[in-house]
Structure 1
Amino acid sequence: MQFKEIVGQENIKQQLIQTVAENRISHAQLFLSSDGSGALALAIAYAQYINCLDKQADDSCGVCSSCRKYERYIHPDLHFSYPFFASKDVKTAVDVLEEWRSMLLADAYFDMDIWRSKLSAENKQANINIAECHDIIKKLSYKAFEAETKVLIMWLPEYLDKEGNSLLKIIEEPPQNTLFILVANNQEQILSTLLSRTQIVKIPKLSHATVEHYLMDGHGLSENQATEYSFLADGNLIEAKSLVANTHNDNADKFAEWLRMGYGNRVLDLTAFVEQAATWGRENQKNFLKYGISFLRECSLLLSGADDLVKLPVRALETAKKLSTHVLDLNMADAIISELEKAHYHIERNANPKILFLDVSLQLVKIIKFKTFPKGTQHIYN
């Protein structure tokens, strides 16, 4: 993978290239980012650039023997470690390496939920176990086969339990020309002993503008639709791609109209809405609820007088201002957000969508029309 294939993150790319040019590559680095920021892709592109046989000023060449093997993730001196579900047939990460390569070749932007869907998880918990740690030590103890630098990229070291302490010696005193790159989302969940031995590279979320341009250029979305999806994804390219793949509803208009139905206590319209929402499919239903949560949080900023912090696109912003002026107050917004979060939780767990949306619609009427804020209400969605 080359740097040019990665969306945005121009400053980080330049920073990584500079470390190679100045020969100051730290042997153990932690790429810390939120989901969908491209940290894993950056780690792979960085490793490819380090071992490229014909480095360019701003990227690897993409055509030398090393780059060609890196592009297919089959270079003998490129190793991966990642969470997996141990079983009698799966002892270490190598046992699901083909699935991992297939995932990367399809799209290097994915999260744990997507990775889990590619494996036989059953009821097991994913982790990076002691057998995997021993396998890492064994692989890295060998001399490099072809490249000048052996590279181990560990995705989500948060899944290392105390067994990860077995890696401390090899990380602190690695074999010659060995590079560790850990790619993580949550610094607090990483072993402190591991954390203290790495140089942290913080990778920011993608800007709304970057995601918006990607959606327009890469997926042919209109400016309005790209702006809405960018707002909803909030810098997460995985989420933005999911919206493109699964959402064909105008969530902004639909959600605003749903609020108006609740305010007007339009029971027949709400019933029709429930029937329609039940046919959308689970991903579209989740995206609709997620949009509503994000939209109402922006409305809360308006209601608090923090207009400068609002990131809604123009059309949605006009709607939010009208609703905040004539319909909502902070207590209402907070209560509705709570109901939507509960609904999103149950949709993910295959709740009956018709019962769920009917229940949330009734709660909407109580909150907006009758200013009744349910506390600890029991919901039965299944």
Structure 2
Amino acid sequence: MQFKQIVGQDAIKQRLITSVKENRVSHAQLFLGPGGSGSLPLAVAYAQYLSCENKLETDSCGECSSCRKYQKLMHPDLHFSYPFFAKHKDDTAISFIEQWRDAFIANPYLSLDTWRGYLDAENKQANINIAECHQIIKKLSFKPFESPYKILILWLPEYLDKEGNALLKIIEEPQPNTLFLLVAQNQDQILNTILSRTQLIKIPPLGFDEIKEYLIEHHNQTGDAATEIAYLSNGSLTEALTMLQYDNKGYHVQFVQWLRLCFANKGLEVMSFVDQAAKMGRENQKNFLRYGVNFLRECCLLLSGAGSLVHLPAHELETAQKMTNVMIVEEAQAIVAELEKAHYHVERNGNPKILFLDVSLQIIKILSFKTIRAERTQYIPN
């Protein structure tokens, strides 16, 4: 993996390259960023740059023996640890290394859900067990074979339970030229004993324009399609790539039509919509609800007088401006809460017909029966 293959994050790339040039490479670093920000590919590209035999000014060469091995994730001084679904208590990450290589090479921006699809996960919980901790200690007790550094990339250390304390000594006092690169998404879920021993590198979400340009250049998306996907992804390339697999066209028209039916309290047509939504498929349902949340949040900005912060395509902005004439901020916020609740339950395989019917009824109460405005009126003093 080379830095040039990673979307955006130019400031982080420069920081990592500078640390190598100035010989300020910390032996334990934590790449902390939200899912889809590129934390994992950045760690791999950094490791490849450290091991490259012919470093360029801004990247690894991609052609030397070390780089060729890194591109296949088969370098003898590169090791990975990650959550897995153990069938036996003695299972370690090496038992799943072939699946790991396939998953990362197919999509370096992989999520735990994507990784689960490469394994026979059944209903098991992912974790990094004590056997894996002992295996890490054993692997890192040897000197580097070929490169200046022996590097371990530990993906999602949040899945280290108390067993992770077994790694404290080797993290704090590693063998010479041994590096730990931890890649995490949630700082609060990492053992404090491990967190305190690492140098933190914060990875921000990707920008809207970065995702949009990537989708146009590398996935042949039209400007409008790329705009909608980038808008829905909330800075996560993982989410954007997932949406490419599904029919994400027409969310705006469909969502606004749903609100209009609820506003007019057209019972039979609302039920027809519920039937259609129940057949959309789980991923499309999640994307549809996510679109609704984002669209209404933009409406809230308009209603609050912060129109300069609104980021909507022209035709959607026109619709949003019209909606501000019939909706108040509290109503939009209440609908957002219902959509988020429905999204949560769709993710957990709730019955979609019941979920969309319930949300429809709640929107009818808010928009048609004006329950939010009625509640406000009760608290306004005479």
TM-score range, shorter chain: over 0.9
CA contact (8 A) 2:30 2:183 kept: yes
**2:341 aligned with 1:342:** yes
CA contact (8 A) 2:90 2:131 kept: no
Q: Distance in 1 between matches of 2:276 and 2:219?
A: 27
| Structure 1 partner of 2:149 | 149
**2:366 aligned with 1:353:** no
**2:139 aligned with 1:139:** yes
Identity %: 60
User: Map of 1:45-194 to 2, 5 A cutoff?
Assistant: 45-88=45-88, 91-194=91-194
CA RMSD of aligned residues (A): 1.7
| Structure 2 partner of 1:379 | none
Counterpart of 2:201 in structure 1: which amino acid? V
| Structure 2 partner of 1:305 | 305
CA contact (8 A) 1:246 1:284 kept: yes
3-state SS of paired residue (2:245): helix
State how many pairs are aligned: 373
Q: Distance in 2 between matches of 1:29 and 1:180?
A: 6
1:120 CA displacement = 2.4
1:268 CA displacement = 3.5
Q: Distance in 1 between matches of 2:32 and 2:354?
A: 40
Q: Which runs of 5+ in 2 are unaligned?
A: 376-382
1:337 CA displacement = 1.7
**2:321 aligned with 1:294:** no
**2:330 aligned with 1:331:** yes
1:294 CA displacement = 1.5
Counterpart of 2:186 in structure 1: which amino acid? N
1:176 CA displacement = 0.8
Seen in structure 2, the aligned counterparts of structure 1 residues 300 and 315 have a Cα distance that, compared at 3 Å, is same
Q: Which runs of 5+ in 1 are unaligned?
A: 376-382
| Structure 2 partner of 1:283 | 283
Counterpart of 1:345 in structure 2: which amino acid? Y
| Structure 2 partner of 1:244 | 244
TM-score, normalised to structure 1, is: 0.93
| Structure 1 partner of 2:2 | 2
CA contact (8 A) 1:231 1:313 kept: no
- Structure 1 residues 10-47: Cα deviation after superposition (integer angstroms, max 9, x where no partner): 11111111111111111111111001011100000010
CA contact (8 A) 2:83 2:126 kept: yes
1:90 CA displacement = 5.9
| Structure 2 partner of 1:380 | none
- Structure 1 residues 72-101: Cα deviation after superposition (integer angstroms, max 9, x where no partner): 001111000111122227611111111111
| Structure 1 partner of 2:378 | none
CA contact (8 A) 2:30 2:181 kept: yes
3-state SS of paired residue (1:44): helix
3-state SS of paired residue (1:342): helix
Counterpart of 1:341 in structure 2: which amino acid? E
3-state SS of paired residue (1:31): strand
